[in-house]
Chain A
Amino acid sequence: MKLTEDDIYRTSTQYQHWTFTAAQLAAQRLQTNIQASERVRAAVARQRAPRSLKAENASASETERGESGANTPVLAVDREVNCLTVGEEKKLVDTFCKRALDLGDFLKLPIEVTATGVQYMRRFYLLNSPMTYDPQTISRSVIFIASKAEGHHLSVERYASSLPKTTPADILAPEYLITQALRFNYEVRHPFRGLKGGHLELMALAQGKPALLPTATQSAQELQTAMLALPRKPDGPATSMTVAELEKRITDAYGLASHILKTAALLTDAYFLYTPSHIWLSAHLLADEPLTLFYLSTKLPLSSPMHDKLLSTLRACSTLLSSHPISSHPLQTTASAEQQKKEKEEIGALLKKLRQCRDPDKIDLVKLNQAQKRDVTVRVEENGGEGLEESKAKRRKVARERAEREADEFWGPSLKRKDEEGSGGNLEKNGG
């Protein structure tokens, strides 16, 4: 099988499971929102029903209560739960993605760890709503999972102790929830290294010693000359730079693009909607448009039908990237105080609203997690619960031993004990 670099991306789980069109993405979010609101309303209704009933009629019989509790139609709840909208959910997730990013910075984690964590977070909230699972808790857990996936070992105690009011259990409790929602796809393909690759090639072009594609029509020399004359701004006048100036320009563009990739690209839907290659090129386009367009021309002839398509994709992507407040003023690290204040108020209001519509079943994830584990040990399963077989066997063994002990006390010890357990089967190599 002949694989091009595009095919390599097509085989990735990121492309297969986590790439969507804008319409699909919106539909998915809407569905998640509807389902979550539904559940929240039902759960709240269930909690309220017995209480209100008790207040109304303390002598209500068991059966009646059961009926009304289970059957309370959602719309009949006196005070409608005010659920978050899709937009509000997204805003919240974005906010906590930003906080996760800040957390990564604070802990001085490598950018891949934080970036992977943020993507886990975004993937998680495609299938789950902040109303169901608290984004604060999730944001801390995803970073921890990402640190494991990216091979950056971090002990959970140390990690938890560096966070305010957090115990290791808080970090670990939602692990399985998250990892299931991620469909066990731990690999995230980032655009960072791609940007470095592009930078390497641009520098080689500037130095007049690039390795050209077999289809290239211009010589290295010609390309260098054209590059030195590139205008500073789109449609600007031609310049004439020295090689050193050009190298500086390329390096500056790299820095700017890298900043965009580390912030805006992570905090928007770029990873869902575009390939890493398109993302870094779009960031570079924002950073230095003439340079990027020139670079593209060395890859694709202007006449190629793919060129137009690529360019419109890149433009759409860069619009998305620049829509984020962080990158709209890429050089200006702090937005105006007024804006910040407004933003803060908005988030505060959202958080307040969130508190009103949390799914009451899912607030304490640690307890939930423990309950699940406990559940398993007592529940008898008809199918697929092989894990349970072990605990069942254990219980059986304990019971038998007790019975034997009791018998021994009465009858005296038996002469010969039966074989306790069958052999566990031969060891398989996979186990190692």
Chain B
Amino acid sequence: MSKAASRVPGGGAAKDEAICPVCKSSRYLNPNMRFLVNPECYHKMCESCVDRIFSHGPAPCPIAGCKRTLRKAKFRTQTFEDLKVEREVDIRRRVARVLNKTEADFETLRDYNDYLETVEEITWNLILKIDVEATEKRLRLYEEAQKAERNITARPYQPDPSLPSEKAQVVLKKGASQRKAVATSAANTPDSRANPQDGEVEKGFNFHGLKKYVPPAPEKPLDPFDGWAIEPQFYVVQDDYDVEWLTQTKNDPVATAGGYDMRDFYSRALCDAFSGFGVFVEDEIEARAKGLSGDANTGTRSAATAALGGKDVNMDDVF
């Protein structure tokens, strides 16, 4: 992708892109050169610079004026030629992960549209770097709240590293263990000053018309039969019956070797014997005919004619 993007002839940009701003080597000399960006600051540099500078651990961005700490693992090729777009997409992706409601989650269409508007507002705040800190906090709080509600373990929300925040600056100077501690405390302690609005203090957001979350019922133990069962009422099958007319088959080695099992026959014969034992045609068919036509007079008409109404070829008819 980056190759394709860098090959685009585009006036001055093309010239810039051909030269690494760090080592100044150009694509002319090294046609295989790849550029990478880090979503911390979106400064572009070539792959060999990344290898050289960041292979031994986090280091500050070599671009003049940018003092952000970058890690090699975060470098990637850019998807969009325009880094602004690249950043916007990243932000949108992050926001969408937290604010992931769908239309079905809302009572009304209007509520859903209000929600979408809020999401868009939040997104643009981040993109345009307006109220970044407060917004990030709200998102973080919201994610926490959602997580607590659903009791799931998801990836914690990560604040946009490309945006200035005093904590990030502080963290930079501390050791790894301290950094972790700060990060967790920041994530866990809700800041009561951040949002004076009602209801948003703890949850970050409060969307109107959101349906109450119903936690999925705990999964029942799996029923391999899916609730189906054949439960005979009037007979119990035995393993063997001593009847003269069956002895020949029973003792036929060819039949047994092929897998013919007399027990299958026994259970079938007994099932047939009582299949319909408790079905009384006069009662049941009468009831069925009445239910079918609704009209007492036509109730006596044959079921076949009644079926012309299409009852039994109905799509919804399961049985």
Which residues in A have some Cβ–Cβ distance to B below 8 Å? 1-6, 8-11, 15-17, 19-25, 27-28, 31, 126-127, 183, 189, 191, 193-201, 203-204, 207, 209-214, 251, 273-278, 280-281, 299, 306, 309-310, 313
Contact = CB atoms under 8 A, between A and B. Distances in A.
B269 to A, nearest CB: 3
A1 B231 CA distance: 10
Contact of A3 (B230, B242, B277, B307): B230
Contact of B241 (A203, A274, A310, A313): A203
A127 B244 CA distance: 44
A148 to B, nearest CB: 22
B313 to A, nearest CB: 9
B232 A5 contact: yes
Contacts of A275: 275-277, 279, 281
Contacts of A207: 242
18 contacts: A2-B231, A4-B231, A4-B233, A5-B275, A5-B277, A6-B278, A24-B285, A24-B303, A27-B300, A28-B301, A31-B301, A193-B269, A196-B269, A197-B235, A197-B268, A201-B235, A210-B238, A251-B244
B184 interface: no
Nearest to B317: A16
A372 B103 CA distance: 56
A19 to B, nearest CB: 6
A273 B281 CA distance: 7
Contacts of A210: 238
A277 B276 CA distance: 6
A19 B305 CA distance: 13
Contact of A211 (B236, B280, B282, B301): B236
Contacts of B32: none
A361 B16 CA distance: 93
B270 interface: yes
Contact of A9 (B233, B279, B303, B307): B279
B295 interface: no
A23 B300 contact: yes
B277 A6 contact: yes
B243 interface: yes
B57 interface: no
Contact of A6 (B242, B275, B303): B275
B289 interface: yes
Nearest to B285: A21
Given A15-B279, A201-B235, A24 B269 contact: no
A193 B273 CA distance: 7
A212 B244 CA distance: 22
B286 interface: yes
A300 to B, nearest CB: 8
Given A23-B300, A24-B289, A276 B268 contact: no
Contact of A8 (B227, B230, B238, B273): B230
B268 A193 contact: yes
Given A24-B289, A203-B243, A204-B238, A194 B312 contact: no
B228 interface: yes
B78 to A, nearest CB: 40
Given A200-B241, A212-B236, A299-B234, A19 B278 contact: no
Q: Which of B237, B244, B269 has the most CB of A within 10 A?
A: B269
B227 A274 contact: no
Contact of B281 (A2, A19, A191): A19
Contacts of B233: 4-6
B187 interface: no
Contacts of A17: 303-304, 307, 312
A402 B308 CA distance: 47
Nearest to A212: B236
B282 to A, nearest CB: 5
A194 B285 contact: no
Given A24-B302, A211-B237, A277 B285 contact: no
Contact of A213 (B234, B273, B280, B319): B234
A18 to B, nearest CB: 8
Contact of A2 (B229, B279, B307): B229
Given A204-B241, A211-B236, A193 B278 contact: no
